[in-house]
Chains A and B, each alone.
Chain A
Amino acid sequence: DAKTTQPNSMESNEEEPVHLPCNHSTISGTDYIHWYRQLPSQGPEYVIHGLTSNVNNRMASLAIAEDRKSSTLILHRATLRDAAVYYCIPRNRDDKIIFGKGTRLHILP
């Protein structure tokens, strides 16, 4: 299973962009990179995923390094509601989806 490294915590000001990094240097060529977040007292929710190209959706953007050893989740304009734990997860064919410790994002008003 590919291992991931994420900062334990990050802070950002409200209404500013946030860049959440993830290192997954042991990722295999067929692993998709998924991001989830968990708001306080809730279950995790899907944010975005990608394979090689950068991806955008209504929640966020995902920038994947050319060598695929790292990726960055970009929240374009953070709100207080974005305060959560963000998980970066390589997902492979055997479907054993392992959540690491994630990054706790604090948003300052």
Chain B
Amino acid sequence: NAGVTQTPKFQVLKTGQSMTLQCAQDMNHEYMSWYRQDPGMGLRLIHYSVGAGITDQGEVPNGYNVSRSTTEDFPLRLLSAAPSQTSVYFCASSYSGLAGIPTGELFFGEGSRLTVL
């Protein structure tokens, strides 16, 4: 049972570099999302998607891009990394339910720890 798979688990970048955090789920979930968690803080929603071809902004979208070309994958792109983006990133997915009824539990990946120097 793969569930939600995030890669890489660890990454160090220099300021200004770009990279993509990968997220894949094998549960045929419609809903996928990205969160970041800074040390000692709660999770903040970056972007989310309610289905293939549909994405929307969360609480802290600036500096990040997403796309959802397939149901399985939801990559998060950092366009020009900054030290303020040093954080642990979590991808999550869920089955949104019939007619968008939000009953599905969120399944989380193990997280990707990003350090920007």
Contact = CB atoms under 8 A, between A and B. Distances in A.
Interface of A: 31-32, 34, 36, 38, 42-46, 49, 85, 87, 91-93, 95-102
A91 B45 CA distance: 13
Contacts of B101: 93
B106 A36 contact: yes
A31 B35 CA distance: 21
A91 B100 CA distance: 11
B96 A46 contact: no
B74 interface: no
A93 B98 CA distance: 11
Contact of B103 (A32, A38, A87, A98): A32
Contacts of B90: 43-44
Interface string B70-99: 000000000000000000001010001000
6 contacts: A31-B102, A38-B43, A95-B33, A95-B96, A96-B45, A96-B56
Contacts of B111: 43
Interface of B: 31, 33, 35, 42-45, 48, 50, 56, 58-59, 90, 92, 96, 100-103, 105-111
A45 B3 CA distance: 13
